[in-house]
Structure formats: structure tokens, C-alpha cells
Structure 1
Amino acid sequence: MERMVCSCTGSHQLLYRKNGTHYQVHCQYTGWARYHVSYTSSQKLIIMNIRKGHLRNYVLFSFLSMLAAVGSMGVIYMINQIINKYFTGTKVAASSYFIYFLGALVLFVVSRWLVSIAIIGFTQNLLIKTRMNVLEMVLRSPFQNVWKSKEKIFTALTRDTDIIVGASVTIVDILTNSAIALICFIYMGIIAWQLLLCMLVLLIVTLAIYFFYVGRARKLFIKAMTFQDTFIKYLNEILSGFKEITLEKQKGFDIADRHVKRSILSASALYRKAHVTFLNNRIIGIMSFYVFIGLLLLFLGNVFNIQDRVVVNFIFLILYVFGPIETLVLMIPSITQANASLKRINVIEAQMDVVDSDNAQGRPYPFFEELRLENICYQYRQEEEEGDRPFAIGPVGLSLSRGEVAFISGGNGSGKTTFLNILVGLFRADEGIVYVNGDRVEKDRWIDYQRLFAPVFNDYHLFDEFYGIPVVDVEKAQEYIRVFELERKVSVQKDKFSTVHLSAGQRKRLALIAAMLEKKPILVLDEFAADQDPPFKRKFYTEIIPYIRQEGFSMIAITHDDTYYAAADKLYKMDTGSLHTVIAGQEKPVYILS
């Protein structure tokens, strides 16, 4: 059983365990989830890439690598043959050996160059595909899961994908050096099998010690990655709040001192320990080889009565095979890191609740007549809210017909924005029923339900281009720009506004224009008029809302502008998680609407 910080809330730990050929991940809120096949690090990397259609590339790389190994061993064989000739006093046929030597050398160089060039192109393509796969997974995931795992997702898209792709390519080097080592061992066994057995015993003991400490290093890598997530989190906080930090530099220094420096130093210390562990193992390996060479020169040749020329040949092979073996050992840290990164991505994927690609296109509602919510309840998790009792909403209800305008008022912290998130489908209600056009919205139509809404949130993001709109109605866009009094500031150029660098109120108007251009039936606004100047605010309530209704939109808006409540067809008030309908100044709780 192992532990990792959970992305569900970011404040408690996940447990994950092996169950047969699978891992299971446990969250105290979501329970056990079965999420991926358990293999060794290199096996997982190979299987992952073979499943993604890269088998042909790996076959090509392996073939070229084997040719390089044969060429390399050909060079070594020629050298050993020449050494034997010198020991026996036989004349060396320089011309014939030179041709063989040159042929083996050319085979090694050309094969190695071709496989290196192929790997460079493959690496870049694989990096692009891996990042796009992770990004597609994120885009098909529910809002809450992504919202709570932003730092982990950022790390997965940048650092983790780089590590995995780099380790995937090392599989080719593993195959090449394994082939060279195997050919060397066969050759060693032919010339002196007793010495080969002695060397293999020493090698097995050394590797056993090595892999024992590799397990410790892997845990250090995993722990260091959690500090990387913390670093990303507070780096984003500095960049997002840089306006405030510019006015008070001490805020930035406080964040750096309390969080950023600590995460950097902690991650660095853990990485240092892990790499020192690998360095110590490498030194142990080097010492074991030199000890064996010393024993061979001083004792083993005499013990097994082996000729001097064979001992020299064997020592030469040891010195040669040491390179491939050391290369294999040096690849273990990258494979270990890739294993940790792959595990992190798998855990994120298990918690993303990714929507099936066949269902992601959905079946959009052909028209909109009525929306009805009944007995909706939602409660924040204990770790998501400070205090003894997490905030809860409900049971509440709401109805909206085509062309209607509904206002929701209420004090700060009453639950208005949370209810809006539930309404548009960003948060999934714990209880309750949603109806569209009289039909209950089931899970398989949730995406279609979300597509009914075009929101402008209080913390909205204004995209610099029109996304998700196949064909932009430029004439209608210019009309909206004139209605919102922005014709002197902005125009529509191809698939984007000419500029988005405007005042806060004007940017919010652009966000509403962009939402209207999506032609979705329900506009959802959160404190839209709060950033508008008084003349435009008056125009918005008295002229633009009727205009929006004439354009065929329905609207649900959070507002505190009680002077203009008469502009709405329905008025609701949120009070500590309860929703009341207000009729003639009288408040009445809303649960079930019929």
C-alpha cells in the first residue's frame, strides 16, 4: 500500500495498491477505482507506446540497434583476433583484417547514425502526441475534477510528458546495449565459461544491491514531485496576482519565502538524495568490476588454469562490456522518474472521470421551451470548506421558460455563485432532478444540458478569438457591438475581436457579446452590471435586456441592483443556501415547481 496526495481536494492522501494485474486508487470520498495495468517501468513504457501505434518505429529502432551492436562486436572481435596473433607469434594479415575492421566500423557508425536521426524525429512526434493525449483527457473531464487538479495537470502537460517521452526513447538504448552485453557474454562463455560464471555471480549480487536502493530513490522522486506541484501552484499565484504584488512587493516576497523557496529547496533536497543514491550504486558497480579484474589477474587465471592470452582477451571484453552495462544502469534513474510520472498521470486520469469520446459530441436539444430544477441539494466536502460544518445548498428549485428573464439576489456568501455553478452543470448536485422541455435530464445527456447555457461569470475569461462557433455572424456581431456602445473601440476581424484590451466594464460587455454569438438559448450572468458605469447600467436594464429577449434568449442573472428588479419576469432571493421566490415583495421558499 502506497500513498500520494489526492487531487480530489488537494488536502488528503490517496492510497493505491496492487490488485492482481491492476492498480486500485482509493479516495475517501470517491472510493476505490481500478485504473491501470501493473507492469515494470520499462514494460509499461513499451506497452503504452505499442498501444499508440508505435510498434513499427520500435521494430525499426531495434533492427538498426542490433546492426550497430553487430558492428561494434565485429570491431572487438577483430581486435581480439589480432591480440591472439601477437601472443602466438603468427603473422598478421594486415590488409584482410583492415577490410573486416573497416566494414564492421562502417556498419556500426552508419547504423548508429540512422537510428539516432530516426529517434530525434520520433521523440518530437511522440512528445506532441503525448501532450495532446493528456490535453484531450483534460478537455473531456468534468469541471470540478480539473479545477481541483490544475497544478498537477500543468505539471503533467510539461514536466511529466517530457520525462515519459525521454524514457520511452531510452528503451531503444536499452535494447542496443542489452544486445551488445548478450553477445559479449556469449563470446566470454566460448573463450572461458568459468570466468563468465564468476563474473555473472558478482554482477547479480551488485544488481541486487542496486535495485534495493532504487526502490528508495523512486519514493524520493514521487515525494519530490508533490513539492513541484506546490511550486507550480504558488508560481501561478504570483503571476495571477502580479497587479497587487506590483503595488506591494512584500506580498510577492512573502509568497516566495513561505511557499516557493520551501518547495524548491525541499524538491531539490529530495532529488539530490535520489541522485546521490544512484551515484553510490554506480560507484559500487565500478568497484565490483575493478575488483573482479584484479582477482582475474592475480588469482582466477591460475585457479582455473587459463592461458594468459585468454585472460587478456577476457579482461579486454570486461572493459568493453562495462560500457553497455553502465549505460543500462545509468538509464534506471530516467526510467524510475518516468515510472513516477506515468503513475501520476494515471492517478489524474483515474480521477478525471473522462467522458467517452463517442458520447462527447452529444445530441443537442433542437429547441428550448422550459427549464425546471426540483429539490436540488449540494454540499461542499469537509476539506473544501473551512469550519466545522461545510456549506450546503438546498433543497431548492427554479423554473425558466423561453424568453423569460430571472434575477437572483442575495447577500455575500449566501450561495448564489455556487447555485449558478450547479445550474449550468459545472457542479453536479448531490440530489435533485433537472427537466428540460418536460424531460428528465439523465447522465447520458448531461453534455447536451450544459450546452444550453452561455455564461459570463464574475471571474470570466475573455478569449481572444471566437472558439466553438463554426461560423461567426459578422453582421450580427457588429450589431451587438453597436448596441453595447463599443463601435468606437472594437470591430470583428475574421474570427476575433480587433482588441480585448479595454476597461473592466467594456471587457465584460465583449464577453456578453461573445456569449450571445454562440446562439445558445440561456444566458447566465453573474454580477454583470457591477462593472458598468451608471448610464450604461441604466441602458442595460431598460433597453438591452428587452433587446436580448427579442433576440430569442432567456436569461438568469445574479444582481444586487434592486432599482431595476422590475426588468425581470421572475425574482429569486438566495439566503444561506435556500432559494426563495419573491412575489409582490413576499418571499416564498422554492423546492418543487410544477
Structure 2
Amino acid sequence: MNLIYFLLRSAWGMVAIAIVTGFLSGGSSAGLIALISSAANPSNQSPLTSIAWGFVGLVIVALITSIISQVMLVRLSQNAILQLRMGLSNQILASELSHLENLGNPRILATLTEDVQAVANAVYLIPFLCIDLAMVAGCLVYITWLSWLVFLLVVILMVVALGSCNWLLRGGGELLAQARDDQDVLFQHFRTVTEGIKELKLNYQRRQSFLKNQLKSTAVRYRNHNVKGLTLFAVTTSWGRFIFFFAVGFLLFALPNLITISPHTLSGFILTFTYLMLPMDNIVNNLPQIIRANVSFQKIESLGLALASKEETSTVPPNINPIWQSLQLKGITHTYYREQEDNSFILGPIDLTLYQQEIVFIVGGNGSGKSTLAKLITGLYIPEKGDIFWDKELITDSNREWYRQHFSVVFSDFYLFEELLGLENADLDNKAQKYLKQLQLEHKVKIENGKLSTTALSQGQRKRLALLTAYLEDRPIYLFDEWAADQDPIFKDIFYTQLLAELKAQGKTVIVISHDDRYFHLADRIVKLDYGKVEYENSQ
């Protein structure tokens, strides 16, 4: 029902038309059984010509309505899945960064990939299920027309079957839900495999401990929950077939001894039940996929609600102001939980003022809060306390998007896009090529129509490409988080002595997070952090 409601929210009119045509198709198919049974009856007085025309008419109706139902629901389901994917992606990008970090990448990725795909697969089945259900309903109507007593017996059998199957399906659904929780943990371990491959290779004991105690144990638990759940579904399928064959046997051997029934009516029952076998089998076989999709849909809705609780105000930012005087942070604080140390870390309160056309170094030991401060300065983190002022204009939810557009940042854990997205400039390729030469990458990378020829470079060279993007953005404030850490000594010197000075000469403010104390003398100011507090602030 969650899936049907999801489709109805997408376009209820199209869903209604598709379901109605699906039931018409199934009903027409069931009508064919009655017609075939009537034509096979020797006592039937109707002309074969009229029966043949009726047969052709029902076949045409069944075919046309089946095509309409399937095409409409396939198109609708794919549009709904597109909306689901885009809606989730928009929600993720609109949510607060700190909240996304707390949710964790494995959970988000599992939902975007596994859960959405599970829903997509199940939604694709819905038009076929509608037709199968219509066939079942049509056959039941025909059985009622033949004998209401037999219909009552069939209803009793269906109640018994549905009650017992529901118990089995509910147990299987609970096990699949547990398997889906295991999958979140499994995604986290897969991330460890890809991102921690060097550390795992260098330490045999660590690798074996991870494989046996974490990855294998989670994978085994995931497998066991799936096996138990799918076993219950298999039992449900077999149990449903047993009840079905029991009903056929009852009609053949027991019913004639209980009530008077003509051979023609009995053959009609048998023909109808035989025809029912395929749609009933389809329904029962597809139930596990529907239930799995329901579990995934609940995960999607859960993530959506979690994201919506920390959704930022979405606005189209006006043009940025390249001429500015000061950026003030007044008493800002931020708290986050550190799992390794099992405690909370509080940054602040921080009072800091930045001015146009200056170079500021932010220094301090590991864990002192430098990267967190960078995210607060750039508006990626929202201060829990305190205020940020841009030329005495208070930064709030309504103008935070506009405020962020004043920064070009290369974080230590940067992401490198393969295209120069969002940079509308007729001379973009030429400008980029000029910067490539300055960054000593012209022999490695070419740019054509804003697309990089390759990003398969060393980490230091990839950081230079990220710097290239920052150059092309041409924003008032530049922030570099340990940018020079992966550069060779020659280019590290170029970065500190030439590139920073050039940016300052262009009127830019440059904020540098660095451990390279030999270059501290190049800064106009040095801000040192110690365990979340400003220890001192020196002007050179």
C-alpha cells in the first residue's frame, strides 16, 4: 500500500486510469474463460459465430487495455522513481552539513542505491500485479455465477490461506528489515575496504581482524537474516500452492459427493481454477519483492524525514559583493561528538575579524578545531551560538546561501569534479589553460568544453586541479585547508611565495590552514587554535 500511495502522490489521475484499464484487461481475460467453457458445453444453443465474435471482442479488449495499463504504469513508475531520486538528492544537498556527517555516508549511499533500486523494481511489477488481481477477481465472479456455494467455500479457503500466509510474510518482512539494517553496517565495512586498503595491506593482523571480526560477521548476519526471511517466503509460496491444489482436489473428488453438480459446471470450475494458477503464482512469487521494497521505502521515508528535520532555507542567491570591508565572527561555538574519545568537542567561543586583501594563517595541533573553524567561516556549519556579520549584515538562514558564494575553498578532503561545472564563461577553456600552465599541469591535463581530459593524477596534482577550479570561480575569499601538504618542495614554495601573493594582489582575502611554520612569516596575521580556543592572534 505504501508503494501505491507513493504512485498516487506522483500522479493519481494516471494511476487511476492505469489500474482501471488493468482490471478491465484482467476481467476480459477472465471473461474468456467463461466464453470458452460455454463454447465447450455440448448443450449450448448459441451459434458458434456469435461466440467467436465475442471471443475476438474480449481478446481485443484484453489486449488493448493490457497495453494501455502497462505502458501508463511503466512510464508513471519510472517518472516516480526519477522524482524519488531527485527529491532525495535535493534533500541531501539542502540539509545541514553537520547533520549529514552525523547520518553517515554509508546510510545515505545505501538508501540512494539499494533502497531506491528495490522500490524501482517493485514499482515495475505493479501493472502486472493489477492485471493478475483483476484476473483473480474476474474468475471469482464467474465462480459465483456458476455456484454461490462454491464461491463461499473458495472464500473460506482464501481467508485461511491469507491468514496463514500473512503470518509467514510478516515474519519474513521483519527478517528482511533486520537484513536491511545489517546492510548499512556492511556498506560502512565496504568503505573501509576501499578507503583503508593501504593500512590493511600493511598490517596483517589488522587485516585478518577486520575480515573475520567485522566484515565477515556482518556479512554472515546479513546472509542469515536474508536466508531466514526468504525461506519463510518460499514456504509461503509452497503453502499457497498446496491450498490451491487442495481446492482443485476438493472440487474434483469431494464436492460432487456433497452437492449435486452438473459435469459442465464441474468442468467450468476446473477450467477456471487451472486458469487461476498462473496469476496466483505470479502474485505469491512477487510478494517477497514487494515486501522488500516496502522495507526499503520505509528506509527512504526515514532518511527523508531525518533530512527534512535539518533542512536549510532554499533561496536563489543574489549576486555576490566583491567589494567588502570586514567579516566578523562574534562568540560562535560548535559542538560535535568524537567517537574515538567518547566525548564531545566544543569549538569556541570564537571572536575573529577578517578584512579584505589580507593573508591569514590558521595554525594549531591536530584536533585543535582548524577544519571546523573553516566550515564555520564559510557557512557550511551553522553556529550553535554567536553571530556572523558580513559588513555588519547579520548572516541568517535567509541569506546564508548568498554568504557562502563569497568563498572558494579547497578542503583537505576535497572532491575533484571532472567538469568545470557552474562556470559560465565564453573564454573558459583559454582561461583554464592559462592556469594549467601556471600550475605546471599543461603537459598532464587538457581542457575542452569545460571538461578535464583526466583526473587520474597524483594527490598533489589533483589538488592543483582543485585550485584551478577555485581560481576560475574568482571569489572574494579563498580558503586552503592543508593544501600544500601533498605538494613537492618546489611547488610548495611556489604556492606560499607566489600564488598567495598573487591572490592578495588581486584584492582577495586568503585564509590558509597550515603546519608549514617556515612560511608563517608570509602571513599578515596568524591565528593559533588550541583545543577549540584561540590561543593567540598575531599581526606580522
Q: 242-251 or 210-219, which moves further after superposition?
A: 242-251
Code of the aligned partner of 2:341: G
Q: Give me the whole-angstrom Cα distance separating, in 2, the residues matched to 1:63 and 1:510.
A: 56
Q: Give me the whole-angstrom Cα distance separating, in 1, the residues matched to 2:422 and 2:470.
A: 11
Matches within 5 A, 1:508-523: 508-523=463-478
Which residue number in structure 2 is paired with residue 51 of structure 1? 9
Instruction: State which of 278, 281, 285 in structure 2 corresponds to 1:323.
Output: 278
Code of the aligned partner of 1:68: S
Matches within 5 A, 1:435-474: 435-471=389-425, 473-474=428-429
1:558 Cα deviation from its structure 2 partner: 1.0
Q: Indicate whether 1:197 and 2:140 are aligned.
A: no
Which residue number in structure 2 is paired with residue 234 of structure 1? 189
Matches within 5 A, 1:128-277: 128-147=82-101, 148-243=103-198, 255-277=210-232
CA RMSD of aligned residues (A): 3.0
Q: Give me the whole-angstrom Cα distance separating, in 2, the residues matched to 1:360 and 1:74.
A: 57
> Contact between 1:65 and 1:115, CA under 8 Å: does it hold in 2?
yes
Q: 574-583 or 139-148, which moves further after superposition?
A: 139-148
1:154 Cα deviation from its structure 2 partner: 1.7
Code of the aligned partner of 1:172: P
**Alignment gaps of 5+ in structure 2:** none
Which residue number in structure 2 is paired with residue 34 of structure 1? none
**Shift in CA distance, 376/213, structure 1 to aligned 2, threshold 3 Å:** same
Q: 414-423 or 536-545, which moves further after superposition?
A: 536-545
**Shift in CA distance, 243/82, structure 1 to aligned 2, threshold 3 Å:** same
Code of the aligned partner of 1:583: N
Which residue number in structure 2 is paired with residue 79 of structure 1? 36
> Contact between 2:407 and 2:478, CA under 8 Å: does it hold in 1?
yes
Instruction: State which of 381, 392, 400 in structure 1 corresponds to 2:346.
Output: 392
Q: Give me the whole-angstrom Cα distance separating, in 2, the residues matched to 1:311 and 1:330.
A: 28
Q: Give me the whole-angstrom Cα distance separating, in 1, the residues matched to 2:153 and 2:443.
A: 86
Task: State the identity as a percent.
Answer: 28
Code of the aligned partner of 1:405: I
Code of the aligned partner of 1:259: Q
Code of the aligned partner of 1:424: T
Alignment coverage as a number of residue pairs:
537
Q: Give me the whole-angstrom Cα distance separating, in 1, the residues matched to 2:25 and 2:539.
A: 87
Code of the aligned partner of 1:181: V
Q: Normalising by structure 1, what TM-score?
A: 0.82
Which residue number in structure 2 is paired with residue 407 of structure 1? 361
Helix, strand or coil at the partner of 1:443? coil
1:326 Cα deviation from its structure 2 partner: 3.8
Instruction: State which of 19, 43, 46 in structure 2 corresponds to 1:62.
Output: 19
Q: Give me the whole-angstrom Cα distance separating, in 1, the residues matched to 2:356 and 2:348.
A: 25
1:370 Cα deviation from its structure 2 partner: 1.5
1:243 Cα deviation from its structure 2 partner: 4.9
1:153 Cα deviation from its structure 2 partner: 2.1
**Shift in CA distance, 496/288, structure 1 to aligned 2, threshold 3 Å:** closer
Which residue number in structure 1 is paired with residue 526 of structure 2? 571
1:379 Cα deviation from its structure 2 partner: 1.8
> Contact between 1:396 and 1:579, CA under 8 Å: does it hold in 2?
yes
Q: 564-573 or 295-304, which moves further after superposition?
A: 295-304
**Shift in CA distance, 540/78, structure 1 to aligned 2, threshold 3 Å:** closer
Q: Give me the whole-angstrom Cα distance separating, in 1, the residues matched to 2:177 and 2:63.
A: 38
Q: 402-411 or 412-421, which moves further after superposition?
A: 412-421
Which residue number in structure 2 is paired with residue 310 of structure 1? 265
Q: 484-493 or 416-425, which moves further after superposition?
A: 484-493
**Shift in CA distance, 482/98, structure 1 to aligned 2, threshold 3 Å:** closer
Helix, strand or coil at the partner of 2:234? helix
1:129-168 Cα deviation digits (max 9, x unpaired):
4333322322222223333332222222222122212222
> Contact between 1:142 and 1:354, CA under 8 Å: does it hold in 2?
no
Q: Indicate whether 1:527 and 2:482 are aligned.
A: yes
Q: 95-104 or 67-76, which moves further after superposition?
A: 95-104
Code of the aligned partner of 1:518: E
Q: Normalising by structure 2, what TM-score?
A: 0.89
Q: Give me the whole-angstrom Cα distance separating, in 2, the residues matched to 1:486 and 1:216.
A: 59
> Contact between 2:91 and 2:311, CA under 8 Å: does it hold in 1?
no
1:314-358 Cα deviation digits (max 9, x unpaired):
233233334333433333222211111111011111112388798
Q: Give me the whole-angstrom Cα distance separating, in 2, the residues matched to 1:45 and 1:404.
A: 56
Q: 186-195 or 116-125, which moves further after superposition?
A: 116-125
Q: Give me the whole-angstrom Cα distance separating, in 2, the residues matched to 1:348 and 1:459.
A: 25
Helix, strand or coil at the partner of 1:359? coil
Q: Give me the whole-angstrom Cα distance separating, in 2, the residues matched to 1:464 and 1:270.
A: 40
**Alignment gaps of 5+ in structure 1:** 1-41, 586-594
> Contact between 1:140 and 1:354, CA under 8 Å: does it hold in 2?
no
Q: Give me the whole-angstrom Cα distance separating, in 2, the residues matched to 1:137 and 1:165.
A: 19
